[in-house]
Chains A and B, each alone.
Chain A
Amino acid sequence: MTTPEGSPARAAGATVEFHGAREGEATLTWGQRLIWRAVHLMGDSQSFLNCPWVLPVYGRRDLATVLDALRVLLERHETLRTTFHGTPEGPVQRVRRDGRLIVDLVEAGQERALRAAERIAGELSTTAFVHDSDLPLRCAVVLKAGRPMALALTFSHLAVDFQALSLLAEEWKILLRGGDPPPADWHPMDQAALEREESFQARSARSIRYWRAVLEEAPLDVFDHSPGEPEDPRFIEVGMESVALAAAAETLAGRWTISTTSVLLGACATVLATVSGRQRAVMQLVHSNRRDPRTRTMIGNVGQDGLFVLDPSPSDGFADACREAHRAAFTAYRNAHYDPFAMQAMREEIGRLRGREPDLDAFFNDRRTIGTWPGVPRPASGEIADLTANTRTYVTNAWPGVRFKAFFTVGAATDTGQLSLIADTAYLPRETARAMLLGVESLLVRALDEDVPLAAVPRVCGVGPYAGTP
């Protein structure tokens, strides 16, 4: 962790000792298997998968109270006491009953405490976890004049997904109030056992059949053009904050009786298809997969990817494409429940049959936990276009090797529409990535006034097929 001059300084450390109710070893859950594979594919860039998070300290609480609440979280949730190990029989999770977490104590100095906590959480995330020895979280308590103001955390994605982090945030509030959170009686070891049951295996087999049918004829590449000279680092994340995007998506979702997620997904897929010079978009959807009632409140990682295909008729309009995206998303989510190791075996077989596996490195992830933006104004439809004057774009992150060609993410902000695109700059230059985000906004805003024919999308979006650098 860096401590820039004039800003927060590390004060000391504290130790949180925990004594949980159970220890044990189990195979990985499907969600853990997905991340296990990603961790090993990403190598040095695997810190991309870390999950930074801030838990504000509500009210005036002393350090002992804050550390005790952290102890309770560690004791309640086995996933926070778990290490991950490769064995000759395959990877396993091992839950410790007892142990200790070393916590940094950091004075915020002149910096606002929550801002310092966000920055420190980001810094904690830059180092990869050693999964077979580290606890899957790192933590610092951010203090202001000695008073705890926030926890800055980062988690291994093997241990949590974003839904789990939201659940932890709710528990944290209850614990700081001195209350009793609901029982935590379902853990990843239980989930792993559930996933071995016949009904889950049948769903896995059905999902794999669906993926196979798509992969047998999906394009082999996200983009047909040859890679150009990439930036260094090669993968960048371009962000956009647009109130207009959110307001337009809400209006269109109401008009078309579909979710805002489907509207945004339809727009991102349409723009991706346009840039790739095809009618069809094939994308993976990051899916929380909290489908079983027991799984829904589990602190752990159950997310899996769905396979989404949008293949509208050239004569369709954008409204039809979004309705089709809504249906295709359902199909993708329904078939996002599978054993990733069995899925990989199938994908390798497809690779042998087709010469190589189709490249599925285009993604869409909606990180919101609710389908609306409560803090976004509700202007009349005709006034939404004016809001685009306030839209801003920026580059947020860069990595050497996260392996995505194009990865759209809808951010969790509730007062503006956040949309980002991680781009492989060998295939999508920075300006093209930025133009794609603005193109999504333009498409939604124009769709408020007319049903945009798909043939008109390049003109409306200001971005057409990209053929690579000459």
Chain B
Amino acid sequence: MTAGRYRRALAELVAEVSDGAIGAEEALAGERSLSALGLTSVARVRLVDAIEDTFGVEVGLGGDWSSLESVDALAVLVSRAAEPGDRTAADA
């Protein structure tokens, strides 16, 4: 699965963990960072937990905060964790 295929599911997780404060479409649009859209630290923790539970991966940030600021970046993170050998244009 390419990173692009995770985007919809991730956007829906963003909506879920923010109790609807951030819409899935808004998250998918990627015009503003998730912080700018109002994702709190606690909601971000819920998001990481939900990603780990949903995709069966361990999210390691390695200090790279930007990985948690957009659905696209999260999709790349999940893609690399789930399919370490898979590199496609969507990862670029």
Residues of B within 8 A of A217 (CB): none
Contact partners of A257 in chain B: CB under 8 A: 33, 35-36
Q: Which secondary structure dominates where chain B touches chain A?
A: helix
A307-356 interface (Cβ within 8 A of B): 326-327, 329-330, 333-334
Contact of B35 among A258, A287, A334 (CB under 8 A): A258
- B53 on interface, CB distance cutoff 8 Å: yes
Check A327–B35 contact: CB distance below 8 A.
Answer: no
Q: Does A156 contact B (CB under 8 A)?
A: no
What chain A residues lie within 8 Å of B35 (beta carbons)? 257-258, 326
In the complex, how many residue pairs between chain A and chain B have their CB atoms under 8 Å apart?
34
Q: Enumerate chain B residues within 8 angstroms of A89, measured Cβ to Cβ.
A: none
Among B4-12, B43-51, B76-84, the stretch in contact with A: B43-51
Docked CA distance A330–B42 (Å): 7
Question: A287 touching B33 by the CB < 8 A rule?
Answer: no
State the Cβ distance, B37 to closest chain A Cβ, in Å: 10
Assembly CA distance A4 to B41 (angstroms): 46
The smallest beta-carbon distance between A132 and chain B, in angstroms, is 33
Task: Tell me, in angstroms, the Cα distance from A147 to B51 when the chains sit together.
Answer: 51
CB neighbours of A291 from chain B (8 A): 42, 45-46, 49
Which A residues are in CB contact (< 8 Å) with B42? Answer: 287-288, 291, 333
CA distance A326 to B68 in the complex (A): 13
Contact B49 A329 (CB under 8 A): no
Q: Give the CA-CA distance A293 to B47 in the complex, in Å.
A: 11
Task: Check if A259 sits within 8 Å of B41, measured CB to CB.
Answer: yes
Give the complex CA separation of A97 and B76 in angstroms.
Answer: 50
Residues on A with C-beta less than 8 A from B36 are 257
Residue total for B at the interface (Cβ-Cβ under 8 A): 16
Q: Which of A199, A259, A292 makes the CB contact (< 8 A) with B40?
A: A259
- Is B40 in contact with A334, judged by CB distance below 8 angstroms? no
Q: Are B40 and A261 in contact (CB under 8 A)?
A: yes
Q: A257-B33, A257-B35, A258-B35 are in contact. Are A330 and B53 (CB under 8 A)?
A: no
Residue pair A334, B33 in contact (C-beta under 8 Å):
no
Chain B residues with CB under 8 A of A258: 35
Which residues of the other chain, B, contact A334 by a CB distance below 8 angstroms? 45, 48
CB–CB B33/A330 < 8 A:
no
Contact assessment for A333 and B41 in the assembled complex, using a CB-CB cutoff below 8 Å: yes
A442 interfacial by beta-carbon distance below 8 Å: no
A262 contacts chain B at the CB level, 8 A cutoff? yes
B49 pairs with A330, CB closer than 8 A:
no
**C-alpha spacing A226/B18, complex, angstroms:** 45
Chain B residues contacting A288 (CB-CB under 8 Å) are 42
Within 8 A of A (CB), among B14-44: 16, 33, 35-36, 40-42, 44
Question: Per a CB cutoff under 8 Å, which of B41, B46, B52, B53 touches A329?
Answer: B41
Q: Are B65 and A327 in contact (CB under 8 A)?
A: yes
CA distance A203 to B45 in the complex (A): 12
* Other-chain contact of B49, A259, A262, A292, A371 (Cβ < 8 Å): A292
Are A326 and B49 also in contact (CB < 8 A) when A257-B33, A257-B36, A258-B35 are?
Answer: no
- Kindly state the separation between the CA atoms of A371 and B43 in the bound complex, as whole angstroms: 12
Instruction: List residues of A (29-71) whose CB comes within 8 Å of B's CBs.
Output: none
Please state if A326 and B41 are interface contacts (CB–CB under 8 Å): yes
Residue of A nearest to B36 (CB): A257
Q: Which residues of chain A are within 8 angstroms of B33 by Cβ–Cβ distance?
A: 257
B7 to chain A, nearest CB (A): 21
> How far apart are the CA atoms of A261 and B40 in the complex, in Å?
9
Measured CB to CB, the closest approach of chain B to A420, in angstroms, equals 21
Closest B residue to A258 by CB, please name it: B35
Query: A257-B36, A259-B40 known; A333 and B45 CB under 8 Å?
Result: yes
Contacts of B40 in A (CB 8 A): 259, 261, 371
The 5 closest A-B pairs by CB, nearest first: A333-B45, A329-B41, A330-B41, A257-B35, A257-B36
Q: A262-B41, A287-B42, A333-B41 are in contact. List 17 more A-B contacts (CB 8 A).
A: A199-B52, A203-B49, A259-B40, A259-B41, A261-B40, A288-B42, A291-B42, A291-B45, A291-B46, A292-B49, A293-B16, A329-B41, A330-B41, A330-B45, A333-B45, A334-B48, A371-B40
Chain A residues with a Cβ under 8 A of chain B: 199, 203, 257-259, 261-262, 287-288, 291-293, 326-327, 329-330, 333-334, 371
B-side interface residues toward A, CB under 8 Å? Answer: 16, 33, 35-36, 40-42, 44-46, 48-49, 52-53, 65, 68
